[in-house]
Amino acid sequence: MSRMRVRERFAVTVRGFGILKKYCPGLVRDKALYELINSLQPFVSVWFSARIIDEIILGRRVEVLAAYVAGIVLINFLGAVCKGILKRLGDEKEALMWCWFGKIFSDKQMSLDFEDLEDAGIRHQRQEAEENLYMFGNGLGQLVWGTAVLVRAGINLAASLFLTGTLFFSRSGNAAADSPLWVAAVLLCILAGGICNSRATIKENEIFMEWCKGTVWFNRTFMFFGKELYMNPERAKDVRIYEQSVLAKRELDKLIRRNRENQRDNFRMALFPGAASVVIGLANGACYLYVVIKAFFGAFGVGSIVQYVAALSRLGEGVQEFMYLLSDNEMYCLHLRKLFEYLDLPNRRYQGSLTVEKRDDIEYDIEFCDVSFRYPGADKDALSHVNLKFRIGEKLAVVGRNGSGKTTLIKLLCRLYDPTQGEIFLNGVEIRKYDYDEYIALFSVVFQDFKLFSFTLGQNVAAGVKYDRARARECLIKAGMGERLEEMPRGLDTCLYRDFGENGVEISGGEAQKTALARALYKDAPFMILDEPTAALDPVAEYEVYSKFNEIAGDRTAVYISHRLASCRFCDTVAVFDKGHLVQKGSHDELVLEEDGMYYQLWHAQAQYYTHRG
């Protein structure tokens, strides 16, 4: 386990509190206040009890006894009320804490550069921080719990020193009992108990930290082979047909083996605190002996014995907790540091600030100038030296074989990635110079692998909670979902999918694609990009989309990626890609005549497929 310097631990802890304050408001405060009252109350009771006993034995003054009894009752009553309220508030916030932690990760994920989302190293970094936090509370969770321990230790130390102060200075008249060596021996025993506890924590943490390194693997294997593979209805068909359960069993066996090994770790982890308990027991014994001997020789009365014995054992607990915290803090600081490394991942993408000119005539033109792009870690370009200009209002079809770079072109256009070389311009200005959110608002896109969400149909179309119902309905009808909408039990308010209840409706791949198209229409952006928008549609629905394509796209500039070359006839221009290069550009009628061109090949391959029946 790599060590951390005290200064860094302090800085990391302070930052941890900053994050807790922002994302979990009031949690640390309520927990700390509860612990303050909870730890203080026993000392107050002990002090009053000692006074009552002494008064009964010595003074027997009724009014003084009554005042002590009233005091203890009142303080305990107030303490119980405050503790009750603070416990409820703290527990409620602690239950919410896990959702609040989720927000930390979702905020960061949303702000990461898109290409970092696909980076395996960054994914692992996030999972390690997130899963350790959720499984064991490592890092932020421990900081919350550690704060309660810190308050308790602080109160235990301060209050027990306050209550035992007179013990160390009291005199019995017996030289042996009053010897300062006793004081030194008792304090040493208490310190030894604390040190043993701290060593035990360090050892325990070392084993635990080693074990935590496997958390991501453990979770991934368990979630995938133990749950996803069997639970996800989308995978169930393939799992059964290809008997994937055999493979799953083998992987799950590895988990069980690791769990058995874990038993050994658990035993080792228990061994150290066990050894520490022995020393702590001896330390407590020394404390009792000291108090009894002093009382025996008449240094103080019976009431004080109660006070000193209780306070000394609390002093021991305080020292142990404090030492434990010092060691434990290092462990959660290491986890916090890992979390911060992830949270501090920089945005490398250039952040422009130019406002996108809002044009009523939606006259925006786009130009790719010598654009090349290589995916991180890839050994060849996905796009190479592409020069392409879209005329305003143009319907551009992009065609090519699988892997020729069509989707990559769209990803660059939408700034999910920045080109490795070359530039893209919007109305003559390089697109990176625009404010990202404003720029992205210009595009309605239906990606090939689009996703709908388990919200209502209307919310899916509008991509929002409050929306224009008439417009959502109109877009669904335009996208060919009109009839299905009529059949939906609650119309636009029907929930899609069953993730959130039995009343959800499962829709087919084709219906989902139409809904995604309706969502793109609802956004009503000046650019419409459709990546294989008819792949999941039946021939009739596909024909409907083609024939209504001009109506759907309206006067927007539209980019249409399709394997169905027949659709290119609805477009003004066709751009043909091959192995990342733009190899041809022209109208369908022109390109279909160029016999040595790629488009001719593709067109005839497809025509053959449709005309020759096997």
What is the binding site for ligand ADP (CB under 6 A)? 118, 375, 378, 382, 400, 402-408
CA dist., res. 229 & res. 250, Å (int) = 13
The distance of closest approach from Cβ of residue 379 to ligand ADP in the complex, given in angstroms and rounded to an integer, is: 10
Nearer to ligand ADP, 9 or 406 (CB): 406
Q: At what angle do helices 140-169 and 62-111 cross, to 10 degrees?
A: 150
CA dist., res. 475 & res. 523, Å (int) = 10
Nearer to ligand ADP, 281 or 403 (CB): 403
Nearer to ligand ADP, 463 or 605 (CB): 605
Asked whether 177 and 294 are in contact (CB, 8 A), the reply is: yes
Beta strand ranges found along 401-494 (DSSP E): 421-426, 429-430, 443-446
Which residues are CB-contacts of 19 (< 8 A; sequence separation ≥ 6)? 104, 140
The distance of closest approach from Cβ of residue 581 to ligand ADP in the complex, given in angstroms and rounded to an integer, is: 12
The distance of closest approach from Cβ of residue 219 to ligand ADP in the complex, given in angstroms and rounded to an integer, is: 24
The distance of closest approach from Cβ of residue 402 to ligand ADP in the complex, given in angstroms and rounded to an integer, is: 5
Work out the angle at residue 96's Cα, subtended by the Cα atoms of residues 81 and 151, and round it to the nearest 5 degrees.
Answer: 50
Work out the angle at residue 401's Cα, subtended by the Cα atoms of residues 397 and 405, and round it to the nearest 5 degrees.
Answer: 70
Nearer to ligand ADP, 311 or 383 (CB): 383
Nearer to ligand ADP, 400 or 597 (CB): 400
Which residues are CB-contacts of 15 (< 8 A; sequence separation ≥ 6)? 336, 340
For residue 451, the 8-state DSSP code is: -
Burial tier of 106 (Cβ tally within 10 Å: 0-12, 13-18, 19+): exposed
The distance of closest approach from Cβ of residue 590 to ligand ADP in the complex, given in angstroms and rounded to an integer, is: 22
Which residues are CB-contacts of 504 (< 8 A; sequence separation ≥ 6)? 454, 494, 495, 496, 497, 498
Closest CA to 315 of 188, 403, 134, 227: 188
For residue 242, the 8-state DSSP code is: T
Nearer to ligand ADP, 2 or 402 (CB): 402
The distance of closest approach from Cβ of residue 600 to ligand ADP in the complex, given in angstroms and rounded to an integer, is: 19
Nearer to ligand ADP, 147 or 404 (CB): 404
Nearer to ligand ADP, 153 or 397 (CB): 397
3-state helix, strand, coil in the chain (%, to 5): 65, 10, 25
CA dist., res. 452 & res. 231, Å (int) = 20
The distance of closest approach from Cβ of residue 535 to ligand ADP in the complex, given in angstroms and rounded to an integer, is: 12
Nearer to ligand ADP, 118 or 238 (CB): 118
**Cα–Cα separations (whole angstroms), residue 478 to 444, 490, 555, 592:** 15, 20, 15, 31
The distance of closest approach from Cβ of residue 408 to ligand ADP in the complex, given in angstroms and rounded to an integer, is: 3
The distance of closest approach from Cβ of residue 447 to ligand ADP in the complex, given in angstroms and rounded to an integer, is: 10
CA dihedral 211, 257, 217, 340 (to 10 degrees): -10
The distance of closest approach from Cβ of residue 532 to ligand ADP in the complex, given in angstroms and rounded to an integer, is: 8
Nearer to ligand ADP, 318 or 405 (CB): 405
Which pair of structure tokens corresponds to residue 405?
Answer: 């770079």
The distance of closest approach from Cβ of residue 592 to ligand ADP in the complex, given in angstroms and rounded to an integer, is: 20
Nearer to ligand ADP, 153 or 575 (CB): 575
The distance of closest approach from Cβ of residue 400 to ligand ADP in the complex, given in angstroms and rounded to an integer, is: 5
CA dist., res. 427 & res. 63, Å (int) = 92
Q: Which amino acid is at 472?
A: A
Asked whether 416 and 349 are in contact (CB, 8 A), the reply is: no
Per the listing, tokens 């013990």 go with 167
Q: Please report which residue ranges of 2-139 form alpha helices under DSSP H.
A: 6-23, 27-57, 62-111, 114-117, 120-136
Nearer to ligand ADP, 266 or 448 (CB): 448
Burial tier of 317 (Cβ tally within 10 Å: 0-12, 13-18, 19+): buried
Asked whether 409 and 386 are in contact (CB, 8 A), the reply is: yes
